Structure 1
């Protein structure tokens, strides 16, 4: 089948949305997006949507278990993975996404900390729903979009499954071997259905393409030389027209603390390294428990009810260091501390590290009325309530770095869909956000100004709108457009903990403009073609905010960051073509191109490129899958990251990215009643520095990317 040249040119001039549907049109409508709050089919949503189903996940698991890498492989407007415990700088369309598990927020709005990407083992996930671009469907935090991990459901059959995998580096060094295992069960009785799973993973150290050990990030967190475990259970009971379901997931990831960093030299192209040496502090770790209780009813006065209560307990310990910022005169001579050096003024410095603790509670209630009075109008309405209490303290001294802060939010909403004429669906919605931040009187740490700050309870309110249209020109071609607003907050913890955020003589929480919410506008135009032999998708978008939030390193050389509030605009293209060649082959290309700028001089005009902590590189992903008659399947995929220069207001290059290409290949083979898989990541052993390291990293975080690795896995149901 030959493609039309114009369509290929249009798509290759654009950027992504991976394959969402099969070639059969009858399959399109059955794929519903639960994250839309109306359980809409993909074809009815006037936004770019990516569905990563279980089959695609299994293909990716053959080469990697890193969720950030997997999402980037299939939705390239998501930033390249940092290959670390931290996901700071991993954005969607250049802005932070709201990450959820079954609709439960995992992102930490009060103090980000960059750990929201490490809260669940991939083995627990059935599919991933990604809604691209700012929206207010689930409230706080969705400035770049929504990434919702949908966990597995009971199959109805009594079934067990075990899986094992081993990953080896190219040099076959024993300390670089990683392995993992998981066990799951599913079944039901007359009264109860259930599914449960446990997993364990042990990561060795990582090696680059030159067989050199990759440097460790002992502060923000390191995934190499680590262990993780996950416990997941979901219980459900079906009534005549309703269902009650409980989900609990507990995830724990701990670095072993056996390696220390060797500082690199970015200017002279010397990467940050690692040496085997026990860390003199508690190694970085993540502990997260997510709980959700959901009740649904199919017919309450002709409407559907969806009610969810949720809780998340999050604790992240960051690695330590010997920093003057954490010096406190009251700790001089204290037996509790370990002296590690001397400051500029002769003071004794000691090892210190921080811990981020967050507890979230929430409720989401919605009613859905379909085809009201045979009018073609569908209505969803409801209310969300959310409470987050967060504190960041010091592990050794017990001092409070970020005071205990409580964020309370209540948001009623309504969403309307109307089939105005045949094949034309209009949608619109409104959401009212009322939020209050509560902080008691506190004092910043000695190294952060030693300032007395008066607490307060500032409140905020915003009315957010969305409107869209979807027109089905014929059974194969759809056009859509939309305007959506997203609601977010700056990293409140960074604002509160830094005395420089409060320059007034009598500083007060209530007087700080830096705590003002972020409202992001997203405008999008898109087109889909879905035919018998291929599908094609293209979307153009603009994301803008008049008062955004950007992290900027202080000029004092301390390595600390402050929050800058300024206007920013991001433009981008996403495109995808998938061709179905015969009955056995799928070939596709996904493209993402984006550019972003911010206002550097507060004149309300953007003039400076956003850096790599915000904007993803321009990227092309290619893939080819082949299925044999004997159920053997293969996949080859390539990621092309394009060179990029970042310019300031004077049109001078202040940072640059040297692009690279990685290729992965894998095969799955039926063996007895199970599946044996073999995958090779970075097949050509490309030597490269990660995107974050090149664009944002310093000498202490100038990391190479992983070299060639081979993974062998086996899964067996019984």
Structure 2
């Protein structure tokens, strides 16, 4: 007999983290993995949730979301002082970054800038699904990173929370002091609830362990960030509600510092010096000029018998400006260099139905709906030239996911998604670019057209929860991923886009793992393999000159472990480890650092001696990875540099009294002088920058 079970669903959905300051434990609830709220214990795959407790500890040290993700997510490469998430992948493949399910990544022209897209102080938690997934469609070949924003406080009509902090280099104070202030108001009045937050951050100059300023390309020195966030919600009755969320984020670096270029093959770092005379006179500030996210969501807990309904419409737009480069010169136009920017506008609609049913010892959940997305992306130059023409994509997808709980302990999940994508490109001319007066590309007139993609992807998983001491799971999932189309179009050497091979790749992901839980101990271990018949990189055919998607199949494999141990009421420990490796299957050659990062482990030790005092020590260790040989000139090229291991220690603490809290954090406590893993492996000069030296963050929080 089918019976209504919506009260349980409503209870799960209502279990929200509010905007007050006390960290709340919602680690058992997940919304990203299947588009509805569900228990993490019913998911047959690896999941990482960075909750309020973890975020609060990390934000005492740094506001850099990429560093926070690297600390808690196995496999994400270590990062330091950069706005670019280039080569920060999930399991060797690109991740889809979202805010409340709204995509921030720009897969049509992947600039690897999506991770840093909002102020972390407005984040309730971060949900990370590792491995290819068809739940959200294109761009999620490696998984999903979803920033879940805060909900309004429901315990008062008005509450206020203000945090102010300053960050500075302990190695060399000059020009390094910065300031960050975030104020949040929140409350509930009858059926209406609200939260409004304003954040302002002005960075000083970031310095390495020797006191030198970090390089400016993809840099954060002297960046000025602004964030405005609001979420308004109205409950029509116990079942129906309407919610509007808006977030605006900008972060631009406008600096008179210029780079002294190094060479990672010689161990020479790229660093910056203050030299206003050498600063390009027409250089625009780099970074997002403005990232707008608007989302309106309607929820009905029982739109018809046993069925809940969610409908949300959204709009996202961004202009992300890159650094000034002499490689983008054109002497014919009297241009010694240039800057490009990625312009992207997305608007979409998502409808999700959730039907529940019970038959004796079987509980079934069916999640189904339609996604519609219009994504318009281009890459013009700041000076008005056009590098990548406008790509106008319409994506319509239907999906069905099901979950079966058999006799409470055996869980089966299965589903499919059908994608239909049309991308229109008008006729365009490739851009003439000159590395020198005598070395220029030849512009080409290219006929546009419509590129069509269709794909059906599947997923199935099993989990057995009978014994907490050993809960095994196994899963198979697919993801459909189009190539970086913009990179192909801007480098075209043919006269018709129909001659540029742009076929979508299907990624097959296999995973097996288990969770062991005891009274004070939790351990999770997972192993995975993924295969892509088309690979994920674009190369130029030397015979035809046509840029094509890498035809050689790729395989990526690895394992991840997560451990949590609570010693007593005062002490607890968390640790992660991630190992990933990959090869081109037909040649046996290893994949470079664009896809595969060096092995990484992290350790977090937390101490709470009293209810008012907290202290945390975080350690991140990167191991060696040396898979490639030098070229004929005796140097490493591309993304094939060797990585030498290193370890970094961070420290943070806080003390609460009355309505006040004071906190302090130290990044790179021991002032380790090192090149981050990406700086070692990526030989491109924009990345040859050392990690941040000892940096102190001091702050105060007031709430009422």
Question: Structure 2 length as normaliser, TM-score?
Answer: 0.89
Who is 2:267 aligned against?
269
Mapped partners of 2:120, 2:683: distance in 1: 28
Quote the offset at 1:550 in angstroms: 2.0
CA contact (8 A) 2:94 2:142 kept: yes
SS at match of 1:43: helix
Superimposed CA distance per residue, residues 514-542 of structure 1 (whole angstroms, 9 cap, x where no aligned partner) = x2112211110010011112111100011
Q: Retained in 2: the 8 A contact 1:607–1:648?
A: no
Shift of 1:233: 0.6
From 347, 353, 372, give the equivalent of 1:385: 372
Q: Tell me the alpha carbon deviations over residues 271-327 of structure 1, each in whole angstroms, 9 at most, x when there is no partner.
A: 11211123321121202101111111000222010111011011011222333x542
Shift of 1:93: 1.1
SS in 2 for 1:462: strand
**Matched residue, 1:308:** 312
Alpha-carbon RMSD: 2.2
Q: Tell me how far 1:268 sits from its aligned partner.
A: 2.4
Report if aligned partners of 2:27, 2:51 keep a CA contact under 8 Å in 1.
no
Counting matched residue pairs gives: 654
Is the aligned partner of 1:677 residue 2:677?
Answer: no
1:617–1:644: 8 Å Cα contact kept in structure 2? Answer: yes
Q: 1:553 to 1:200 in 2, by over 3 A?
A: farther
Alignment of 1:180-195 (within 5 A): 180-195=180-195
> Structure 2: how far apart are the matches of 1:180 and 1:422?
49
Indicate yes or no: 2:127 matched with 1:134: no
The structural deviation recorded for 1:655 is: 2.7
Other-structure match for 2:486: 493
CA distance change for structure 1 residues 536 and 437 in 2, over 3 Å: closer, same or farther? same
**Is the 2:77–2:600 Cα contact (8 Å) retained in structure 1?**
no
Query: Are the aligned partners of 1:290 and 1:312 in contact in 2 as well (CA < 8 Å)?
Result: yes
Residue 249 of structure 1 corresponds to which residue in structure 2?
A: 247
1:632 matched to 2:613: yes
Q: Give the Cα separation in 1 of the matches to 2:27 and 2:75.
A: 25
Give the drift of 1:86: 1.7
Q: How does 1:475-494 map to 2 (within 5 A)?
A: 475-494=468-487
In 1, the alpha carbon distance for the partners of 2:507 and 2:240 equals: 37
Are the counterparts in 1 of residues 166 and 177 from structure 2 also a CA contact under 8 Å?
A: yes
**1:538 aligned partner:** 525
Aligned to 1:512: 500
For residue 228 of structure 1, report the CA deviation from its aligned partner: 0.4
Distance 1:552 1:80, change over 3 A: farther
Q: Distance in 1 between matches of 2:574 and 2:291?
A: 37
Q: 1:290 aligns with which of 293, 308, 312?
A: 293
CA contact (8 A) 2:28 2:41 kept: no
Q: What per-residue deviation string (whole Å, max 9, x for no partner) do you get for residues 71-128 of structure 1?
A: 1111131121252122211111111110000000000011111221221010110100
| SS of equivalent to 2:108 | coil
- The equivalent position to 1:597 in structure 2, one of 583, 592, 600, is 583
Counterpart selection for 1:230 from 227, 231, 234:
227
Match of 1:56 in 2: 54
Q: Distance in 2 between matches of 1:152 and 1:326?
A: 45
Encode CA deviations 1:455-488: one digit per residue, 9 max, x unaligned: 1112111110000001013144311110011122
Contact 2:57 2:616 in 1 (8 A): yes
Match of 1:701 among 663, 672, 687: 687
Is contact 1:35-1:148 (8 Å) kept?
A: no
The one of 345, 354, 377 equivalent to 1:368 is: 354
Match of 1:320 among 321, 324, 340: 324
CA contact (8 A) 1:28 1:43 kept: no
Equivalents in 2 of 1:132, 1:364: separation in Å? 22
Asked if structure 1 preserves the Cα contact closer than 8 Å seen for 2:299 and 2:310, the reply is yes
Corresponding residue of 1:441: 427
5 Å matches for 1:351-362? 351-362=337-348
Between the aligned partners of 1:263 and 1:145, the Cα distance in structure 2 is 35
Runs (4+) of structure 1 exceeding 6 A deviation are: 26-29, 552-555
Match of residue 458 from structure 1:
451
Deviation string, structure 1 residues 149-189 (Cα, Å, up to 9, x no partner): 00010011221010011112122423111220100000121
- Deviation, structure 1 residue 235: 0.6
Query: What are the ranges of 5 or more consecutive residues in structure 2 without an aligned counterpart?
Result: 1-23, 434-440
Tell me the distance in 1 between the aligned counterparts of 2:382 and 2:549.
Answer: 24
Equivalents in 2 of 1:29, 1:58: separation in Å?
A: 15
In the superposition, relative to structure 1, how do residues 365 and 130 fare at CA in structure 2: closer, same or farther (>3 Å)?
same
- C-alpha distance in structure 2 between counterparts of 1:480 and 1:635, whole Å: 32
What TM-score, normalized to structure 1?
0.88
